[in-house]
Structure 1
Amino acid sequence: MAAGDEARATIQRLLVTGDNRLKQGVDPAKARESYEQALAVARAAGIEDAVRPLVELRLADLARLAAGSPPPAPPAA
């Protein structure tokens, strides 16, 4: 596996881990930690610009949850 592919796989795993932690009711700080680790891996791999929007969305959701606002409704199919 090429280094870029390995970084992408690690980033994907970290994002999914953070998402799963939220779904399972784990401390949101743990989810934040996973998202920030994903961003650090992306930065090291030189693909931060592609990953940052994904992480920023998740961090915004964490902030919304901390403020007690419900998550946005999913788009209509």
Structure 2
Amino acid sequence: MGAPDDGRAKIQRLLVTGDTRLKQGVATAKVRESYLAALEAARESGLEDAVGPLVELRLADLDAREAGAPPPVPPAA
């Protein structure tokens, strides 16, 4: 197993990749693939308790988008 910082960097990279794909309109299957890979990396790094809820929120949002719900409105600045 690598250093914890390596695991965190991999998780962060996968989450950012998924977010970027989502913003660019890439197929939701590819977005989901990135998020699930981040969750798997979190499990492997022992960080699932910290990262899991964040990934679950992203997956729930993705499910809503696939079901035809409009994207959430960003909070006012």
The reply to whether TM is greater than 0.5 is: yes
Q: Distance in 2 between matches of 1:4 and 1:24?
A: 30
Q: Distance in 1 between matches of 2:29 and 2:75?
A: 27
- Backbone CA RMSD of aligned residues: 1.1
Q: Tell me, yes or no, if structure 1 residue 14 matches structure 2 residue 14.
A: yes
List gaps (5 residues or longer) in structure 2: none
Give the aligned partner of residue 37 of structure 1.
Answer: 37
Q: Distance in 2 between matches of 1:73 and 1:38?
A: 25
Q: CA deviation at 1:75?
A: 2.2
Letter in 2 for 1:69: A
Q: How many residues align?
A: 76
- Structure 1 segments, 4+ long, off by >3 Å, are none
Letter in 1 for 2:39: L
1:1-77 correspondence to structure 2 within 5 Å: 3-77=3-77
Q: CA deviation at 1:72?
A: 1.8
TM-score by length of 1: 0.92
TM-score by length of 2: 0.92
Q: Distance in 2 between matches of 1:31 and 1:72?
A: 17
List gaps (5 residues or longer) in structure 1: none
